[in-house]
Chain A
Amino acid sequence: MSIVEFPQRSFPASGAWSAEELQALIALFRAEGETSFATGATEHGDPQFYLLGPAPAHDCVLCVSRLAQTYVLEDGEGRLIGETPTLDGFAVEAARAAVRGSRSLVGRLALLWVTVRLTIEEKLEPIFEESQELLVRVVPQVAAFV
């Protein structure tokens, strides 16, 4: 029996967000309306990403932190929403949190938005791509027939 060795995922060392991570977070929580974001760090230098609610309060709605090899998602009141080794994993966590419900309306809406958007991207886009592929194959044949 042979054992397949999977490559180790490389996580950035503790410190600021990498450009790729920041891009992924901004895309994941694509700010709607008046929401905005800010970044910071813990006293140990672990990076944090804060999704902020509307003005004037700009309360933290969601907070993503990177600790060693885990991304931690919390709401603005410190409730743990999820923990995942990849940022993509938040799709599932966000869906769970949206179902479970949060006391914060803004937080609930933000999570719901993320869930809906990710569902659209994950489920519908492949269907559209498939339809496009089908069209590309069928249209020339129909044209030739006509």
Chain B
Amino acid sequence: MVRSRQAESPAPKGVEQRKRAGAWLQERRKAAGLSQIELAQRLGLKYYTFISQVENGFGRVPNDSMEAWARALNVAPAEFARHLLAFYEPELHKLLFEVTP
């Protein structure tokens, strides 16, 4: 459950995309049969709270730990990064992977 001071105003597109990314990550984690605590352990985090922060759509998977996340979730790192880029930087993703020369 998420409560926000700005709940009355519609969420900006970037926020919505981050929430979609969080939902996708949660789906991948569950598919890998991991709890938030187990994923945090695999990533070498002391607490599992950052996993929740990301899955709730408030944080992003940092670039420098994207490969570790991908491997922990049994997803090919390149595919994982490309998928998250579509949520986090849709314009860049479009330029890199969708626009034909």
User: Which A residues lie at the B interface, using CB under 8 A?
Assistant: 31, 36-44, 46, 48, 50, 52, 55-60, 63, 65, 67, 72, 74, 76-78, 80, 83
- Please tell me if the beta carbons of B36 and A44 are within 8 angstroms of each other in the complex: yes
> What is the CA–CA distance of A48 and B47 in the complex, to the nearest angstrom?
13
- Please tell me if the beta carbons of A48 and B52 are within 8 angstroms of each other in the complex: yes
> What is the CA–CA distance of A83 and B12 in the complex, to the nearest angstrom?
32
Query: Which residues in B have their C-beta under 8 angstroms from that of A58?
Result: 6, 12, 14-15
- Top 3 A-B pairs ranked by shortest CB distance? A78-B50, A38-B4, A42-B52
User: Which B residues lie at the A interface, using CB under 8 A?
Assistant: 1-6, 12-15, 35-37, 45-56, 58-60, 62, 65
- Please tell me if the beta carbons of A72 and B47 are within 8 angstroms of each other in the complex: yes
- Please tell me if the beta carbons of A56 and B52 are within 8 angstroms of each other in the complex: no
> What is the CA–CA distance of A123 and B55 in the complex, to the nearest angstrom?
40
> Nearest chain B CB to A103's CB is how many angstroms away?
10
> Nearest chain B CB to A13's CB is how many angstroms away?
17
> What is the CA–CA distance of A3 and B6 in the complex, to the nearest angstrom?
51
